[in-house]
Homo-oligomer: A and B are copies of this chain.
Amino acid sequence: MTGQAKLPRGFRAAGYTCGIKVSGKSDLSLFVADGPSSAAGVFTTNRVCGAPVVVSRRRVPSGSARAVIINSGNSNAATGDPGIADAERMTAELALSIGCRPEDVLVCSTGVIGVPLPMPLLLSGIPQAAAKLASDDQSLLDAATAMMTTDTVPKLTSVDLSLSGGSVRIAGVCKGAAMIAPNMATMLGVVLTDALLTPAQCTELLRAGVEDTFNCISVDGHMSTSDTVLLLASGASGVNPGADDLAELAAGIRQVCQHLATSIIRDAEGADHFITVDVAGIVTRSAARQMARAIADSALVKTAITGGDPNWGRIVSAAGYSGVGFDPAYLSLRINGTEVYRAGTPAIFDAAVVSRGLKSDREVHLELTLHGGPESGSCSARFWTSDLTAEYVRLNSEYTT
């Protein structure tokens, strides 16, 4: 879907080059609704968070927003009170250009940390970016592109839904959790829809949408200080969804979020493999997720996959230390469909065949299933991750000061 995304009605977008990045690439994204929109947001739970997170988190509870302004190249994090003033000033400048209150503008930043924003560049760039705002799909692509830091491709998608009241569109853009010093990993996402939604519906739909998608990806387990996903609903379709429509809308938002979240993993730094971890037969969904995450975060599991090694011991032992109770005598594991471990003992399989598959395919599927025992249940969870390569280490150990 990437590159083919369409902007929902009632929104304009723009990408612009203020000159923040040494590379000269675009660095300012605007998403602007034609009128007041319902809004919701989810933010990093890191105790150390960037100034834009502080500002946006304060504004989201109003349930309404007109615009989102995002700069890349500087995360405005660890910048103290002056950083908060700068974030507020960005929103005020855009508010001036589009004619709304500063409080109606949400703000995100991604890039180098601990360095004050180059405000003269931003303050002269914002009105010029606002002058470029347009409701065409190219503008959405431009905005997605201007959010990129170490991403190699812009990440965006959209879906059209036919609801009982009419058709609505959901579009989403994001930038990846790839990290390269001295940038912080930042996952930023913006989801736009022209459905007519209350703020409470926005909050519910966004939480449900990120739960099994953005919250189920991991590159290296390092939670950023700036992670933010925002949802704005313009209502410009005039479609006021009923109960059935809401379920369909929820599925659509989830689909958009899943596309964006997995595109981050596919673009992970230095990664050779896209790994899907499925855990089933667990007593609660959160326990299943906890186990899937322990596997996805294991450096030894990741390096085994890098090397094309069907090393089930590393996967099973990661489940074993996940903190989730189970009896190994009921545990089985499949790697790309081949059972390699069954009922607590090694299964008989052709390791060379499984290894060849791991080496030739970019996609890897790990399925861990608890088939019984006193601590088993009917819950499952899916997590996505990438492998760990020497290239990842090289990228992340490059000296930058």
Contact = CB atoms under 8 A, between A and B. Distances in A.
Interface stretch (A17-25, A56-64, A220-228, A256-264): A220-228
Given A80-B345, A222-B300, A355 B399 contact: yes
Interface residues of A, number: 68
Chain A binding surface, main DSSP class: loop
A230 interface: no
Given A309-B399, A346-B78, A220 B299 contact: yes
Nearest to A47: B320
A78 B313 contact: yes
A4 B224 CA distance: 47
Counting every copy of the chain, the complex holds 2
A78 B46 CA distance: 38
A308 interface: yes
A393 interface: yes
Nearest to A345: B80
A244 interface: no
B399 A393 contact: no
A181 B309 CA distance: 8
A197 interface: no
Given A77-B313, A222-B300, A401 B351 contact: yes
A396 interface: yes
A184 B325 CA distance: 21
14 contacts: A45-B321, A46-B320, A47-B320, A47-B321, A47-B324, A48-B320, A48-B328, A181-B314, A224-B317, A225-B317, A300-B396, A304-B397, A311-B400, A390-B393
Contact of A114 (B77, B220, B328, B346): B346
A306 B344 contact: no
Nearest to A114: B346
A78 B345 contact: yes
A326 interface: yes
Nearest to A46: B320
A165 interface: no
B397 A223 contact: no
Contacts of A237: none
Given A321-B222, A328-B48, A393-B389, A307 B398 contact: yes
A179 interface: yes
Interface string A195-237: 0000000000000000000000000111111000000000000
A180 B59 CA distance: 50
B48 A310 contact: no
Given A316-B78, A320-B49, A390-B390, A304 B181 contact: yes
Interface string A358-369: 000000000000
A108 to B, nearest CB: 16
Given A181-B307, A311-B181, A399-B309, A299 B46 contact: no
A222 B318 contact: yes
